[in-house]
A = this chain, B = another copy of it.
Amino acid sequence: MRAERGFAPPGAPATLSGVSVKELRLDVSATPYGVQIGLTTLRDGLRGIGIDDSELPSVELVLAEIFNNIVEHALAETEDGVIEVGLQCTPNGLWITVEDDGNPMPDGKPPLGLLPAVDVPVCDLPEGGFGWFLIRELAHDLTYTREGDKNLLVFRMAVGRGE
């Protein structure tokens, strides 16, 4: 994990005074195995900033889908791509930022993430196309911005508000 640096995700609420800022930053190597290692590392980090064990799976799933898409699509042609992740626990949930310097989203927007039809013959069942559906199901307040040659995703997970 990198040294912490100033952190204020666009769209995230200003940190309330008196509330301890719990944040985490991580560089993830943009390969399938890098993603695997990154997600495993984040499990411990998330526990450390107050995310309950029962809340970890949905955070891990959303991050996995976002990371996988960046590896497969945004940074597909890049050898040593890096994904920068920031996570901050706030009273209204866990705010997450994900940055990469790969290709922009198609049409400059993240996919709609419609659920592929599953009441079809076995041979026609979809083997993919669930990624952005899952992201949109589980993430809140998601914004995407293209800043220069970087992609920036900011969103909130409704976790970490326990006690």
Query: What is A's interface to B at a CB cutoff of 8 Å?
Result: 122-123
Q: Which residues on the B side are within 8 Å of A123 (C-beta)?
A: 122-123
* Contacts A/B (CB < 8 Å), 3 sampled: A122-B122, A122-B123, A123-B123
Q: Which residue of B lies closest to A124 (CB)?
A: B123
Complex alpha-carbon distance, A122 and B122, angstroms: 10
Question: What is the minimal beta-carbon distance from A126 to any residue of chain B, in angstroms?
Answer: 13
Q: Which residues on the B side are within 8 Å of A122 (C-beta)?
A: 122-123
Complex alpha-carbon distance, A123 and B123, angstroms: 5
List 3 tightest A-B contacts by C-beta distance, closest first: A123-B123, A122-B123, A122-B122
Q: Which residue of B lies closest to A125 (CB)?
A: B123
Q: Which residue of B lies closest to A123 (CB)?
A: B123
Question: What is the minimal beta-carbon distance from A139 to any residue of chain B, in angstroms?
Answer: 33
Complex alpha-carbon distance, A162 and B160, angstroms: 88
Complex alpha-carbon distance, A123 and B125, angstroms: 10
Complex alpha-carbon distance, A134 and B123, angstroms: 27
Question: What is the minimal beta-carbon distance from A120 to any residue of chain B, in angstroms?
Answer: 12
Question: What is the minimal beta-carbon distance from A156 to any residue of chain B, in angstroms?
Answer: 40
Complex alpha-carbon distance, A115 and B107, angstroms: 45
Q: Which residue of B lies closest to A121 (CB)?
A: B123
